[in-house]
Amino acid sequence: MPEDFEKEMDSVSISFRLNGEAVSIQVDPSESALVVLRDRLGLKGTKEGCGIGECGACSIMVDAKVINSCLTLAPQLDGREVMTVEGLAALPAGQSIQKAFAETGGVQCGFCTPGMLISSFSLLLSNPKPARSEIIEAISGNICRCTGYVQIIDAIESASRTLSDNDNKNL
């Protein structure tokens, strides 16, 4: 990239809803959503594991879909509804999922955890009673090196049961 090109890029203004609150911010059009969330907005819960969309640690929810924030440009968030782990943690349904993860032993080092939670939340939002195979599909983009996934899958099953037992409408 020529040096002056780097300098010349004008910042753009974007507005979106982040964890339920309106946000407006000037961003460099080449900045990733991950960098904006972490470094500009201070939401450190979302992690960077690879920077190329392979590990899923940076998963966030945009308009109810899970995306890799490392591969998403910040301007693409404009006008969207964005949720990170911090927002998930503030919702009763999110808390049910967190509780299930803790109790089944689904958290070891915890670096993949925020991304896993986002994928789990998004799954249960669209499919409150998923089959085990559907859970596996939903988190297959989130790599975990510690747990062997078993207790994470168990956690999502358990959260699904809790949420349907409560007939929870908060999702």
The least distance separating another protein from the CB of residue 113, rounded to whole angstroms, comes to 5
Minimum separation from the CB atom of position 170 to another protein (A): 17
Q: Which strand (E) or helix (H) includes residue 26?
A: strand 21-27
**Dihedral sign, Cα of residue 81, residue 83, residue 87, residue 89:** positive
Q: Which is nearer to another protein, 84 or 158 (CB)?
A: 84
Closer residue to another protein (CB): 15 or 132: 132
Q: Are 52 and 70 in contact (CB under 8 A)?
A: yes
Question: What secondary structure letter does DSSP report for 77?
Answer: G
- For the CB of residue 168, give the shortest distance to another protein in the complex, in Å: 18
Cβ neighbours of 104 (radius 10 Å): 19
Q: Residues interacting with another protein, by CB under 8 A?
A: 38, 42-52, 54-55, 57, 84-86, 89, 98, 101-105, 107-114, 117, 136-137, 139-153
Residue type, 153: I
Considering the complex, what minimum distance in angstroms separates the CB of residue 79 from another protein? 24
Is residue 134 within 8 Å of residue 127, measured between CB atoms? yes
Helix axes 113-126, 150-165, angle to 10 degrees: 40
Which one, 46 or 158, has the nearer CB to another protein?
46
The residue among 114 and 163 lying less far from another protein, judged by its C-beta, is 114
